[in-house]
A and B are shown apart, each in its own frame.
Chain A
Amino acid sequence: MNPEIIRVVGYVVAVIAFVALNAAMLVWMERKVAGHIQRRIGPKEVGPFGILQSFADGIKLMTKQLIVPEGADVLLFKVAPMLVMIPAIMCFVTIPFSEQLAARNINVGLLLIFAIASVNVFALLLGGWASNNKYAVISAARAVSQNVAYEIPMLITAITVVMFTGTMNLQEIVLGQAGGFWNWNIFPVGKNIGMVVVMPISFLIFFICSMAETNRAPFDLGEAESELVAGFHTEYAGMGFGLFFLGEYANVFIGCSLSVILFLGGWQGPFGLLPGVHWFLLKVYFLIFVVMWMRWTFPRTTFYGLLNLSWKILIPISLFNLVLTGAFIKVF
């Protein structure tokens, strides 16, 4: 048998395990972070520091009765949660955790991630629509228009990075940022002094968009609980809901790791120190912490405020940024 296939299969298993464990860890982390921001301690009694809390939740969700609501489209209703998970797992294929640790080094890796991640919104739409619940339908419609709106500035800013680095291969993008934090794309003083103006803005737009893409607060309009009860997963019980949950955290991880790869040097150390998976995870988890921090600090925007932000502010700025990038690459 081709050892390459074994390697890929092994990697897929590892990725699934990683996604599940990582999501469990992130749920625990979210609750702990929330607790400490909110002057309480969060989960504490289940295992040391409450670390087993997510496993208890997992066991419970898996052993819960599954309900398909009356009038729902049974097939789509059951498919939707899986559709959330599958693209999330597939995205991990091309993410370089370190120089060696990547399943497949694809030379259009960035494009692949964007293409696959877009399926996610399809799952939300199906889930919301198949539930036969008005709240879920409204929420699904919201999620779709939100994703469409934020995909555009996100892609445009990604293009600035691609223009700057000249490649769509994630591994090469990371390699191009070697040598120290002054070579990172967010503030590339070491490489192109002109891009110093453009890249921080690109990073900001990219980060905001990835937060909106993953339906995280303050952009969590899809599951705005004070308006739409629980949004598109109102009718999902047990593990169906659990998969939506896992998918959300997997997407948060992908969004943050893309930010890290494109702008923060991927697995490169800040001073040209040992490169490796530790740096990568450290940076990603820091960004995830920032995402959580935002969630527990800000109230939710309105739907129209959200669309205005994208169409009227982020898209023009990102287009302007694109033009500047072209100019600076030519000039410097």
Chain B
Amino acid sequence: MGTESIQSPIVQFVALDKLIAMGRANSLWPLTFGLACCAIEMMATGCARFDLDRFGAGVFRPAPKQSDVMIVAGTISKKMAPAIQTLYEQMPHPKWVIALGNCAISGGPFVFEGQYGIVEGADKFLPVDVFIPGCPPRPEALIEGILELEEKITGSRRWPRVEAG
């Protein structure tokens, strides 16, 4: 696959595509949608100290039709999963999913042998773009997640990555 040469279209809209990608990346409106503990940290990220609005991502829309990114913040119970699926399907393309916190990644601390109530991770039924670990993740982690998503959309990172250590 990778070695095949793909013929490029005669008319290219690289600049336009780039512009659209830039627009999308800088205007990621999340869905107001909290499930559990992580939702509080999501709120904290939007509030005074961390201010997600700096990146244009602070417009929390209550209606799925108007939002671009779904932040799955919390444990997904089996009763809730169909509703989440519906919400995701209601969002117009292009749309992204961020799994915030261990519960949305894998079920987190609520996985044990014989558990009967939860779905072990959002990626069981949603195409997740960014995973943010933590229980709950700090607001900085969510901001980093948004930056990662921007990088995924535009292909370039807003700020240089800070290496650990």
A and B touch in the complex (CB under 8 A): yes
Q: Tell me which residues across on chain B come within 8 A of A43, comparing CB atoms.
A: 53-54, 56
Q: Tell me which residues across on chain B come within 8 A of A57, comparing CB atoms.
A: 23, 27, 56, 59
Contact status A50-B66, CB under 8 Å: no
Q: Tell me which residues across on chain B come within 8 A of A63, comparing CB atoms.
A: 20, 23-24, 94
- Kindly state whether residue B26 has any CB partner on chain A within 8 Å: yes
Contact status B53-A56, CB under 8 Å: no
Binding site for B on A (CB under 8 A): 31, 35, 38-46, 50, 52-53, 55-60, 63-67, 225, 229-230, 233-238, 241
- Kindly state whether residue B36 has any CB partner on chain A within 8 Å: no
Contact status B22-A40, CB under 8 Å: no
Contact status A40-B56, CB under 8 Å: no
Question: Given the interface contacts A56-B22, A67-B92, does A35 sit within 8 Å of B62 by beta carbon?
Answer: no
A94 to B48, CA, bound (A): 42
Residue on B nearest A228 in the bound complex, by CB: B62
How far is the CB of A155 from the nearest CB of chain B, in Å? Answer: 34
Contact status B56-A229, CB under 8 Å: no
How far is the CB of B14 from the nearest CB of chain A, in Å? Answer: 15
Question: Given the interface contacts A234-B65, A237-B66, A238-B92, does A50 sit within 8 Å of B54 by beta carbon?
Answer: yes
- If over half of B's interface residues share one DSSP class (helix, strand or loop), that class is named, otherwise mixed; here it is loop
- Kindly state whether residue B79 has any CB partner on chain A within 8 Å: no
How far is the CB of B38 from the nearest CB of chain A, in Å? Answer: 21
CB<8 Å pairs between A and B, sample of 16? A31-B53, A42-B58, A45-B26, A50-B54, A53-B26, A56-B22, A56-B56, A57-B23, A60-B68, A63-B24, A230-B62, A230-B66, A233-B66, A234-B65, A237-B92, A241-B65
- Kindly state whether residue B19 has any CB partner on chain A within 8 Å: yes
How far is the CB of B91 from the nearest CB of chain A, in Å? Answer: 8
Q: Tell me which residues across on chain B come within 8 A of A58, comparing CB atoms.
A: 23
Neighbour of B54 across the interface among A41, A230, A233, CB < 8 A: A41
How far is the CB of B74 from the nearest CB of chain A, in Å? Answer: 20
What's the tally of chain B residues with a CB closer than 8 Å to chain A? 29
The 5 closest A-B pairs by CB, nearest first: A59-B23, A65-B92, A56-B26, A230-B63, A237-B65
Contact status B56-A53, CB under 8 Å: yes
16 other contacts beyond A230-B61, A233-B66, A236-B66, with CB at 8 A cut-off? A41-B54, A43-B53, A46-B26, A53-B26, A53-B56, A56-B56, A57-B27, A57-B56, A57-B59, A65-B94, A225-B62, A229-B62, A229-B63, A230-B62, A235-B65, A237-B92
Residue on B nearest A230 in the bound complex, by CB: B63
A33 to B140, CA, bound (A): 24
- Kindly state whether residue B93 has any CB partner on chain A within 8 Å: yes
Contact status B55-A45, CB under 8 Å: yes
How far is the CB of B50 from the nearest CB of chain A, in Å? Answer: 9
Q: Tell me which residues across on chain B come within 8 A of A230, comparing CB atoms.
A: 61-63, 66
Contact status A45-B65, CB under 8 Å: no
A42 to B61, CA, bound (A): 16
- Kindly state whether residue B51 has any CB partner on chain A within 8 Å: yes
* B window 13-52: CB within 8 A of A: 19-20, 22-24, 26-27, 32, 47-49, 51
Contact status A59-B63, CB under 8 Å: no
Contact status B92-A66, CB under 8 Å: yes
How far is the CB of B57 from the nearest CB of chain A, in Å? Answer: 10
How far is the CB of A138 from the nearest CB of chain B, in Å? Answer: 14
Contact status B56-A65, CB under 8 Å: no
Q: Tell me which residues across on chain B come within 8 A of A225, comparing CB atoms.
A: 32, 62
How far is the CB of A148 from the nearest CB of chain B, in Å? Answer: 26
Question: Given the interface contacts A45-B158, A53-B27, does A64 sit within 8 Å of B53 by beta carbon?
Answer: no
Q: Tell me which residues across on chain B come within 8 A of A42, comparing CB atoms.
A: 51, 53-54, 58
Q: Tell me which residues across on chain B come within 8 A of A40, comparing CB atoms.
A: 47-49, 51, 53
How far is the CB of B149 from the nearest CB of chain A, in Å? Answer: 13
Neighbour of B93 across the interface among A56, A59, A65, CB < 8 A: A65
A199 to B62, CA, bound (A): 41
How far is the CB of B84 from the nearest CB of chain A, in Å? Answer: 16
Question: Given the interface contacts A39-B48, A53-B26, does A59 sit within 8 Å of B19 by beta carbon?
Answer: yes
